[in-house]
Amino acid sequence: MFTVKPFKVNVPQTVLDDLQQRLRQTRWPDAPENIGWNYGTDPVFLQNLVKYWQNGYDWRKHEAAINAIPQFTVEIDSMTIHFQHIKSKNPNAKPLLLVHGWPDCFYRFHKVIPLLTDDYHLIIPSIPGFGFSGHVAKTDDGSAKIFATLMNDVLGYKTYFVAGGDVGQGIAKSIANLYPDNVAAIHLSDVGYPNGSEDWSQMSPAEQQFGQFIQGWWYREGAYAMLHATKPQTQAYGLNDSPTGLAAWITEKFNTWRTPDGSIEDHYSKDDLLTNIMIYWVTQTINSSMRTYAVDNPQGLASNNKVNVPTGVAIFPGDAPTPKEWAERRVNLKRFTKMDKGGHFAALEVPELWANELKTFFNSTGGK
């Protein structure tokens, strides 16, 4: 028997006061002149962001906006799971589970809620180890089993759609493979990447080129993932103690993985960036979120197997240039779209484009 409890975010004022003191006491490192983002987070951008965090950003306003959306907690497998549940007024609406990734959170989807509720009942959980869920990192399969229980046993949805990206794509693939009778279709913004174990003689030229790109990407950009997968505790001491350090670690990814034009603030507002960072700060979940990489060895996971459930894939220009052949190798591909704008966090960066693409695919597949 599951007890669903209404939930409201209510951060103690002492936490906010402590945050302000830590921001004031930031000990800034030196940086080469005009370095920009070349060595990591741009020091000029970060100093401006922290200044706004101190003098302009209003957490209570965003806390109230989050609380205006129906949200709940429930205990599943001895773990607290936080989720938003927005019911559509449409009697023919279908349930849709939206799964975020790292270093974002359930807040990734706040702009698409009004764009989707005419057609879907939305269920937007915090992945275990993230946000207001319990601080226990789970594998793709572990989170998939919890979310399947949430959808089926707690909320009573026997058939539903799933959409996700980043960590969320792995969880979506696990749900589809573990519970194929319950999942009508899934929509992904990535399908995973070559890891070197593939037989390249069986891969198309486009797939081989993609594999070479990913190999180079790991050398250029993959250090964070290696740290998360091997030494997350070491990194966590600094990130959990310094809000400026946490902001640097998170915003660097939002900058690197966005649409490759303009500046980061052409794609995300300071308020969007800081609200996402605040959720990590006030919940102290940066460590447990990073541990997800350490526990998620792909060997033996359902997320590593080809998905037979109908799948739509949208590839955004700020993300890895996945070829159609690779997507066909990984999923039962029914729609493949190369988008003109957007990045890794497309639902937050280009909400209308992301939502329209998702609806186009799910409307074409119907339900089981």
- CA–CA dist 249, 333 (Å, integer): 34
Asked if 329 and 168 touch (Cβ cutoff 8 Å), the reply is no
Distances (CA, A) of 334 to 157, 231, 239: 24, 39, 41
User: What residues contact residue 151 under an 8 Å CB cut-off, 6+ apart?
Assistant: 95, 97, 123, 157, 160, 182
Q: Nearest-CA neighbor of 344 among 166, 202, 140, 180?
A: 166
Active-site residue flag, 266: no
Cβ(287)–Cβ(232) below 8 Å: yes
245 closest CA partner among 36, 6, 40: 40
Q: Where are the beta strands (DSSP E) in the chain?
A: 5-6, 71-76, 79-86, 94-99, 120-125, 160-164, 183-188, 307-315, 331-338
Taking the C-alpha atoms of residue 176 and residue 364, their distance in angstroms, rounded to an integer, is 18
What whole-number distance in Å separates Cα of residue 229 and Cα of residue 199? 25
Q: What angle do CA 169, 173, 174 make, to 5 degrees?
A: 115
Q: How far is C-alpha 197 from the chain's CA centre?
A: 26
Q: Which of 1, 164, 173, 141 is nearest to 76 (CA)?
A: 1
229 burial (CB, 10 Å; 0-12 / 13-18 / 19+) is middle
How many angstroms from the chain centroid is the CA of residue 221?
A: 18
Candidates 62, 85, 187, 344; catalytic one: 344
Residue among 42, 293, 296, 319 flagged as catalytic: 293
Q: First and final CA of the chain: distance in angstroms?
A: 27
Query: At residue 10, what are phi and psi to the nearest 5 degrees?
Result: -145, 85
Active site residue 344: yes
The question of whether 166 is a catalytic residue gets the answer: yes
- What is residue 203's DSSP assignment? S
* Geometric angle at alpha carbon 27, from 23 and 33, rounded to 5°: 110
The catalytically annotated residue of 166, 190, 296, 319 is 166
**Residues recognised as catalytic:** 166, 293, 344
